[in-house]
């Protein structure tokens, strides 16, 4: 039970309340006890004032001390009080008792030489009265040579009974208040923590299979509602991260499957060519040369696939650093145009390039060269003999635009959203011949897109129809040196 928050909250609540009640009760008792004693003294003082007036009146009429005392005591009412009048020598002149209570003249008062009112307390052992006796003593001079002592006593039991009653009421009220507070505190704690219990039960049911579920938010404005909202936001982020992770795992599995498939084809060709050639004991030199040419072509293609895979793997892992330096983008574009014109002429495709004005740039020259060559290679592969490929560099407002346009058959509409996906080829039966460094594996556009994004740019398919396609790689001028 002590492990639950509601129990600890209830115990803390009861403990604090008990401490507060005890301090309050002690304070009330400490404040009221002296007041009860003073009330007892006030009653004795009032009785003393009435008695002295009556005694003085009787003396004014010329009566003796004993007669005046008896007359004064008979005329005045003394509730729960005993009264006695003593002469100067301590002899009793007149007395009125209260039950077994007698007003006794203290021994120390017999020599009192002043007329003021004095209060004394006699213990129970001396008077036989429970809790002792409270006395009010006043000396009244009746003549220059004589005086009398009026003594009024009242049991301390009257004040102590009231104090005990107050203590009993407070003592009974504290446990009763604590019992009620315990029940109320438990109810309030249970009611207040009910949303937490509900959130806990719901959170216990949430797993990887149902990350879409959320905790209930009873009141979004209070602390528990804010907690539930925060946890729901955390679950949303976890759900997104889990979905991204699952998607990444799926892409990784697909990437490995596609890579295995692409690597298996040239390896199978190399193996089959070598085995067939070795099985022929009387092969001529021309046949060996033809076999070696096939093996070389497949080896070049295999090397390019491995290099492209290595480039993408390092890019995904963040290990491919961008070696930025200042150069002229127009010179780089012209250089790649000259390199691609050799491949284009072999296929019978015209390579067009119009010189561009100076375009200073700050970036990785090697990566940008690879990006432009990948775009040109893709255009030449898909342009039939007799067609043309055009490369241009232009400056538009705040960016550079490198355009690679061809006169091929274009990219089918259903394939256009996927052309930048790794290992994707719109026409899987398309011939691989004529590509730079052997056939491609559907990674050229993916690498080109990554290089552009690494330079704060992008590559997009601007146009694709029956007249051909046009890819545009754009970079901000802020990258210019």
Cβ-proximal residues to 100 (8 Å cutoff; 6+ apart), any chain: 128, 129
The pLDDT of residue 402 is 92
Mean pLDDT of 60-88: 88
The pLDDT of residue 197 is 78
Mean pLDDT of 258-270: 70
Given a cut of 80, whether residue 314 has pLDDT beyond it is no
The whole-model pTM stands at 0.45
| C-beta neighbour count of 190 within 10 angstroms | 15
Given a cut of 50, whether residue 432 has pLDDT beyond it is no
For the chain, give the percent of residues with pLDDT over 70: 86
Higher pLDDT, 21 or 83: 83
Consecutive H or E run containing 470: strand 468-476
**N-terminal to C-terminal alpha carbon distance within the chain:** 71
What confidence category does residue 308 fall into, taking pLDDT thresholds of 50, 70 and 90? low
Given a cut of 70, whether residue 436 has pLDDT beyond it is no
DSSP of 179-237: HHHHHHHHHHHHHHTHHHHHHHHHHHH--GGGTT-----S-TTSHHHHHHHHHHHHHHH
What confidence category does residue 450 fall into, taking pLDDT thresholds of 50, 70 and 90? confident
Phi, psi of 459 (to 5 degrees): -120, 135
Mean pLDDT of 210-220: 79
What confidence category does residue 429 fall into, taking pLDDT thresholds of 50, 70 and 90? very low
Mean pLDDT of 360-369: 89
The pLDDT of residue 430 is 41
The pLDDT of residue 332 is 92
> Where do the domains of the chain lie, and which CATH numbers do they carry?
5-162 (3.30.450), 205-318 (1.10.287.130), 321-479 (3.30.565.10)
What confidence category does residue 316 fall into, taking pLDDT thresholds of 50, 70 and 90? low
Q: 266 near 302, Cβ under 8 Å?
A: yes
**Per-residue pLDDT tens over the stretch 378-412:** 889 889 999 999 999 998 878 999 999 999 888 88
| C-beta neighbour count of 73 within 10 angstroms | 20
Higher pLDDT, 218 or 400: 400
Helix axes 157-192, 5-60, angle to 10 degrees: 160
Read off the tokens for 237. Answer: 């982020």
Given a cut of 60, whether residue 377 has pLDDT beyond it is yes
**Per-residue pLDDT tens over the stretch 270-306:** 888 887 777 777 777 777 788 888 888 778 777 776 7
User: What gap in Å lies between CA 450 and CA 420, rounded to an integer?
Assistant: 10
The pLDDT of residue 211 is 73
Q: Are strands 82-87 and 92-96 parallel, antiparallel or unpaired?
A: antiparallel
The pLDDT of residue 50 is 92
């Amino acid at each position: 039970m002590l492990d639950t928050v509601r129990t600890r909250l209830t115990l803390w609540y009861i403990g604090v309340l008990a401490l507060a009640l005890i301090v309050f009760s002690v304070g009330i008792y400490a404040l009221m006890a002296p007041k009860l004693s003073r009330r007892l003294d006030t009653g004795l003082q009032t009785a003393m004032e009435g008695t002295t007036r009556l005694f003085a009146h009787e003396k004014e009429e010329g009566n003796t001390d004993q007669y005046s005392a008896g007359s004064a005591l008979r005329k005045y009412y003394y509730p729960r009080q005993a009264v006695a009048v003593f002469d100067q020598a301590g002899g009793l002149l007149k007395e009125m008792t209260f039950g077994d209570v007698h007003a006794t003249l203290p021994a120390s008062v017999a020599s009192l030489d002043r007329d003021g009112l004095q209060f004394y307390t006699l213990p129970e052992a001396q008077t036989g009265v429970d809790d002792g006796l409270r006395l009010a003593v006043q000396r009244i001079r009746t003549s220059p040579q004589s005086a009398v002592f009026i003594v009024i006593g009242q049991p301390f039991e009257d004040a102590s009974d009231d104090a005990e009653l107050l203590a009993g009421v407070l003592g009974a009220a504290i446990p009763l208040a604590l019992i009620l507070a315990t029940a109320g505190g438990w109810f309030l704690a249970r009611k207040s923590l009910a949303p937490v219990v509900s959130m806990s039960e719901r959170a216990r049911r949430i797993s990887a299979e149902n990350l879409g579920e959320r905790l209930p938010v009873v009141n979004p404005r209070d602390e528990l509602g804010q907690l539930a909202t925060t946890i729901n936001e955390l679950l949303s982020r976890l759900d997104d991260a889990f979905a991204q992770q699952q998607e990444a795992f799926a892409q990784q599995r697909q990437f490995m499957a596609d890579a295995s498939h692409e690597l298996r084809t040239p390896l199978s060709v190399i193996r089959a060519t070598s085995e067939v050639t070795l099985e022929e004991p009387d092969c001529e030199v021309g046949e060996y040369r033809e076999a070696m040419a096939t093996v070389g072509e497949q080896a070049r293609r295999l090397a390019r696939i491995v290099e492209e895979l290595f480039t993408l793997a390092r890019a995904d892992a963040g290990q491919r650093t961008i070696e930025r330096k200042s150069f002229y983008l127009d010179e780089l574009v012209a250089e790649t145009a000259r390199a691609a014109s050799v491949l284009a002429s072999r296929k019978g495709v015209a390579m067009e390039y119009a010189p561009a004005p100076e375009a200073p740039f700050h970036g990785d020259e090697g990566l940008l060269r690879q990006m432009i060559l990948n775009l040109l290679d893709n255009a030449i592969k898909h342009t039939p003999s007799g067609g043309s490929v055009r490369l241009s560099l232009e400056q538009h407002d705040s960016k550079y635009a490198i355009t690679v346009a061809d006169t091929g058959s274009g990219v089918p509409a259903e394939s256009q959203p996927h052309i930048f996906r790794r290992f994707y080829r719109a026409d899987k039966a398309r011939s691989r011949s004529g590509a730079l460094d052997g056939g491609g594996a559907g990674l050229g556009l993916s690498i080109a897109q990554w290089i552009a994004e690494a330079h704060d740019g992008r590559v997009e398919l601007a146009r694709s129809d029956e007249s051909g396609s046009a890819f545009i790689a754009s970079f901000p001028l802020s990258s210019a040196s």
